[in-house]
Structure 1
């Protein structure tokens, strides 16, 4: 039997009764990080929510999950096995999906226990409407790829009353917001970190206002961004990114960018040639 177990985002009291029951049954635990899992179980035992029990712990994360499953037999799951991500729901920007595929292929009984995730909780906190949202996990690491992804979602969601929810690390948060500012400086942004924890904090406003607010605080912890792109008028106005990504000669591109930004044609031309290399 295989259980996929949701874990608290931060507040220990958010652990569900069903998760506690399953943990008590499990003899083996696959963990995104065994140290995090063992610490969580120890705290639950100290709080009297879980009885002490001897369990085997195995590391199971995005870097080793394929090789792990290739090197075990389906008999491994004859005992009660649980998978725990570090926080939140398995399979939601966390490992777990490959386990489901393995269980289905080998006809291993499995159960996924429900609980909240950072994406749904952040959407509720944002108050940006109950008509739905699109979840896109973590944005790409590279700025150019990130901007293309944001342009894509702005185009897709512009005619819809839907929010975009993404995760971001503290190391790339400001860069992602600055990329968003280039795409849509009127985008309504709600960002929140450390949900359910002692240092939970959030900022809201257009992307320029949020950047200013975050610049005055410590950027620690994992962040969730809830974005509502500004409505695009029917009259289309050419922007920097559209010109940069267009398939036109560098000299013409430089002239257009100069007219849009006020910077010299020469500066833009050298920049375009450099990026092209």
Structure 2
């Protein structure tokens, strides 16, 4: 009789955020598959779990899948975890589950914490209908194309982003629709948890003032309402466009920067046009 493949949710930051069942399954499993053994080792040591750890990640999954399936077919129970949160959610595991099911191996889920849903819950942005899209493409043109498509939807959109790219992603969002409300969350459930919800242009200003960029970010984007659209400013003069942002609370310098993003212009061009118009 074959073993069972358990998909086990683990904490996203605070080690106390794990279920009794998850701890039990990790103890009872014959092997724990994990992305980074160094990360999972901290968890198993905390809960005095002595089950052997084996690496299973994006770069070796194709090489080890057959071996794992053979172990399951021999009757071994195997637990799959990610570094944080739920396995398969923007993490490896999907292909393993597909093959396991094709082989008639039982797959069970042991639910747990999830960064995307945690960020949505605390964001203050509608949670009635939402779409999770994981990580965006890295290439600028592909990222913009994807965001334009996502931001046209009436649903709240949740994405993950690296601390090294979060500012650029917010700039792309602002260029598509600077009036859109978004939330950025980092270090969720940890001591220095930070969740900021505001119009994207205001968050960009705050980033310039020093929002900590440590840790992976969750970005929650308000769905399209019909009022927020890409070219809402198209009938405005540059002067009116800048003044609109000033009334929203931005300083002149930041308002000019935002208009330049909206119109795909250089900041000095907007500056010159604005100051000529206001003379």
- The two structures have a TM-score, normalised by structure 2, of 0.77
CA gap 1:229/1:81 in 2 versus in 1, 3 angstroms: closer
Aligned length: 236
- Which runs of structure 2 are paired with 1:80-91 in the superposition (5 Å)? 80-91=77-88
Aligned to 1:271: none
Provide the rounded CA distance (Å) in 1 between the counterparts of 2:94 and 2:55.
16
Structure 1 residue 218, shift from structure 2 partner? 2.2
Provide the rounded CA distance (Å) in 2 between the counterparts of 1:105 and 1:262.
51
Aligned to 1:70: 66
- Residue 24 of structure 2 corresponds to residue 28 of structure 1: no
Unaligned 5+ runs, structure 1: 46-51, 241-259, 268-277
- Residue 196 of structure 2 corresponds to residue 199 of structure 1: no
Unaligned 5+ runs, structure 2: 235-261, 270-279
- Once the two structures are superposed, residues 116-169 of structure 1 have per-residue CA deviations (whole angstroms, 9 ceiling, x without a partner) of 3111111110121231101100111122111111111122x1xx2x20100001
Q: Helix, strand or coil: the match of 2:138?
A: coil
Which of 34, 44, 47 is the equivalent residue of 1:44?
A: 47
Which of 111, 114, 119 is the equivalent residue of 1:117?
A: 114
Structure 1 residue 28, shift from structure 2 partner? 0.8
Contact residue 192 and residue 200 of structure 1 kept, 8 A: yes
Which of 144, 167, 170 is the equivalent residue of 1:174?
A: 167
CA gap 1:60/1:6 in 2 versus in 1, 3 angstroms: same
Which of 123, 126, 135 is the equivalent residue of 1:126?
A: 123
CA gap 1:190/1:238 in 2 versus in 1, 3 angstroms: closer
Aligned to 1:135: 132
CA gap 1:221/1:145 in 2 versus in 1, 3 angstroms: same
Aligned to 2:54: 58
Provide the rounded CA distance (Å) in 1 between the counterparts of 2:64 and 2:195.
38
RMSD: 2.6
CA gap 1:30/1:172 in 2 versus in 1, 3 angstroms: same
CA gap 1:25/1:239 in 2 versus in 1, 3 angstroms: same
Q: Helix, strand or coil: the match of 1:165?
A: strand
- The two structures have a TM-score, normalised by structure 1, of 0.78
Structure 1 residue 229, shift from structure 2 partner? 4.4
Structure 1 residue 91, shift from structure 2 partner? 1.2
Provide the rounded CA distance (Å) in 2 between the counterparts of 1:235 and 1:193.
28
Structure 1 residue 185, shift from structure 2 partner? 0.4
Structure 1 residue 70, shift from structure 2 partner? 3.5
Aligned to 2:91: 94
Contact residue 32 and residue 81 of structure 2 kept, 8 A: yes
Provide the rounded CA distance (Å) in 1 between the counterparts of 2:23 and 2:224.
44
CA gap 1:117/1:69 in 2 versus in 1, 3 angstroms: same
- Which runs of structure 2 are paired with 1:9-20 in the superposition (5 Å)? 9-20=12-23
Aligned to 2:212: 218
Q: Helix, strand or coil: the match of 2:125?
A: coil
Q: Helix, strand or coil: the match of 1:14?
A: coil
